[in-house]
Amino acid sequence: MKVMTIKPLVAAVTLALSLSACSTMQTASTSQAEVAQQIISKNQDNPFFKPYPTPYGMPDFANIKPEHYLPAFKAGIAQQKAEIQAIINNPEKPTFANTIEAMEFSGNLTTKVIGVFYNLTGADTNPELQLISKEVGPMLSAAGDDVLLNDALFQRVKAVYQQKNSLNLSVAQQKLLDDTYQSFVRGGANLDEAEKAKLRVLNEKIGKLSLEFGDNLLAETNAFELVIDNKADLAGLPQDIIDTAAQTATKRGHDGKWVFTTHRPSVTPFLTYADNRELREIIFKGYIERANNNNANDNKKILAKMAALRAERAQLLGYKTHAHIVLQERTAQTPENVYQLIDKVWPAALDQAKAEVAAMQALVDAEGKSFKIEAWDWAYYSDKIRTAKYAFNEQDTRPYFSLESTLDGVFYTANRLFGITMKERTDLPKYHPEVRTWEVYDANNKLIAIFMGDYFVRDSKRGGAWMNAYRQQYNMNGVESMPIIVNVLNYPKPMGDEPALLTFDEASTLFHEFGHALHGMLSDVEYRSQSGTSVPRDYVEFPSQVMENWMIQPEVLAQFAKHYQTGEVIPQALVNKIQAASKFNQGFNTVEYMAATKLDLDWHTQTDFEVKDAAQFEAKSLANMGLIEEIAPRYRSTYFAHIFSGGYSAGYYSYLWSEILGADAFEAFVENGIFDEKTAKAFKDNILSQGGSHDPMHLYKAFRGKEAGIEPLLRAKGLLAK
């Protein structure tokens, strides 16, 4: 449930610290502008080299082919190098306009290609795109390094930065200047030439390893299958899950059987409902041992090397650890602050988790069974207890949350809060037949965005749920850019004529991701690099966390939570059960998440460059935090894509940090009315529309009138001391 963003090269320090690789400086006898023009002239049929002939300038998906990416990337990089060189060669004294803004306005072609390529490598990849990514990653990082390590350019930026207090800049301009200067410093601009060369090598190695990690994990996830040929082994599973498994089996060449995989929509219900304990153990271990099988897809050496190289890079740049360099630009600021947050929440969460284990063990004993609760028993027995304690089975919620009705609920909520309306279009370009597209209008019936939804699991899509932008909102340099936003999820496909039915938790994810989408669609900023979700990682989840709260409100449920066959509104008795059960199993949920958070921080607060034994390092980390053996971290090291092939290294804590803001913020709506016009306007004006144009905590205080407290979150999770 994360946001995926890629910024232009001049703002690429985040990319350089996570996904990037680099290569040596490129030199050529011809100018970079000529290089770009030569590429464009030889590839005149390339859709990236002309305006898209599509409504609203949407990507021309039908005509973009894999062979178009590399020429477009090469031309875009060359163009931006020429633009940067023009800034350097400008004989005029460095100013905010001719240096900082000029950099911000550069790189349009590269940004255009990135917007399509990295969206598709996540949502609809194929072997061709994966090969291209291995070549493009080093190219982009090298180009980013060529910007951030260019001393002549840095001297111009520094000259503007040194006079910032006398420039009469707006708040957004001041932040753009500060962020630009700091990106150079963090990118190695103050290093000498030998150190810069070393940094390039480190970036190259880290980037290549990151790509390998992601490819290995995808291969491992797709390779595992639990094939069942005895119908008795399906006992306990809901019929829709069985039907999906049969469909998967046919697709994988196992006609007449049932196949379960380590994709979340398959493994989670199996662990929750399958009565066969031996099979639960097999699929659980298949899930948690991904890329940890000492085969060609093993990630242990890769991730350990990445962590060591990141530590080395951080110290080269003058920081104590990788976590220190990452957190400097986050609202948390230091790893010590994050560890302190963990220490505040961990004891209560762990005590609750231990109580949950005891309750499950008591149930096992009462059934006359002799085994001890293990990690693969947790989902199964916790569901039994929840059913018994609250007479609540989450499968009972499915008939009331079809995908279609839940979308109606999301759109209803957004309309009541912010006045936006959604008009579906079936004739707009799409990258996959399953994608749906809407025009988004504001309260004045002005078109403000295009929204795309991609909801069903497929092998070409990585796991999870996220929001991204094919084009970001901005109003800069005489151009008004309307955002094109996408939500990508992984729901099981519907069977036959049945609609896609969601559990309450799955429907809640839809609300969450649309919260991210609102952040992108309601953005109203001048500069592209400050648009929408271009905010610190530990702040970006905040708007989406807030949005989840409307899902359970009776007024909202009455609008959309209706039985897909009868039209009956979800019974209040079932709603009461959902609310009562909402605090159930929060010990487990909080502990498994925080264990992954602590593991992330431990990997990235290393102060030496030694390549650790990954298995031993992880075991020691989990032991030091006191994690009980009945719980595995939400992500173990070898499949922790957030931190080893995504942008969350030293930042997985961000979800908890944002949950604190989200719980505190929603209290403002509870106090004033969940659809209070004034509160909603304050949230839109201070949070959703501002993107990264202001200090995020200043924006939060402007909305809330105070700093966020931790108590609302602990209360929501049922973790406050009785």
Tell me the pairing of strands 2-3 and 484-491.
unpaired
Residue that has been written with the tokens 């075991």 in this structure: 619
Alpha-carbon distance of 450 to 58, in angstroms, equals 9
CA distances, 86 to each of 32, 33, 89, 173, 545 (Å): 11, 10, 5, 21, 43
All residues at 6 or more sequence positions from 148 whose CB lies less than 8 Å from its CB, including other chains? 12, 13, 16, 154, 183, 184, 187, 188, 189
Handedness of CA 14, 17, 23, 25 (dihedral sign): positive
Alpha-carbon distance of 140 to 72, in angstroms, equals 12
- Note whether 213 and 305 are within 8 A (CB): no
Residue count of the chain, please give it: 722
Q: For residue 77, which of 141, 23, 5, 133 has the smallest C-alpha distance?
A: 141
Q: For residue 517, which of 469, 447, 461 has the smallest C-alpha distance?
A: 469
Handedness of CA 112, 114, 118, 120 (dihedral sign): positive
All residues at 6 or more sequence positions from 338 whose CB lies less than 8 Å from its CB, including other chains? 323, 327, 332, 597, 601, 653, 657
For the record, the structure tokens of 54 come out as 């599509």
Residue that has been written with the tokens 């957030």 in this structure: 642
Alpha-carbon distance of 237 to 280, in angstroms, equals 12
In the Cβ-directed half-sphere of 141, how many Cα atoms lie within 13 Å?
29
Q: Catalytic residue at 513? A: yes
Indicate the helix (H) or strand (E) that contains 24.
none
Catalytic residue from among 83, 212, 394, 513 = 513
All residues at 6 or more sequence positions from 427 whose CB lies less than 8 Å from its CB, including other chains? 55
Listing DSSP states for 359-421 in one string gives HHHHHHHHTT--PPP-GGGHHHHHHHHHHHHHS--GGGGGGG-BHHHHHHHHHHHHHHHH--E
Alpha-carbon distance of 315 to 319, in angstroms, equals 5
Using alpha carbons only, what angle is made at residue 211 by residues 195 and 641, rounded to the nearest 5 degrees? Answer: 105
Other Cβ atoms closer than 10 A to 386: 18
Burial environment of residue 371 by CB neighbours within 10 A (0 to 12, 13 to 18, 19 or more): exposed
Residue that has been written with the tokens 């004045």 in this structure: 444
Alpha-carbon distance of 382 to 304, in angstroms, equals 34
Listing DSSP states for 428-463 in one string gives S--SSTT-EEEEEE-TTS-EEEEEEEEEE--TTS-S
Indicate the helix (H) or strand (E) that contains 87.
helix 69-89
Active site residues: 513
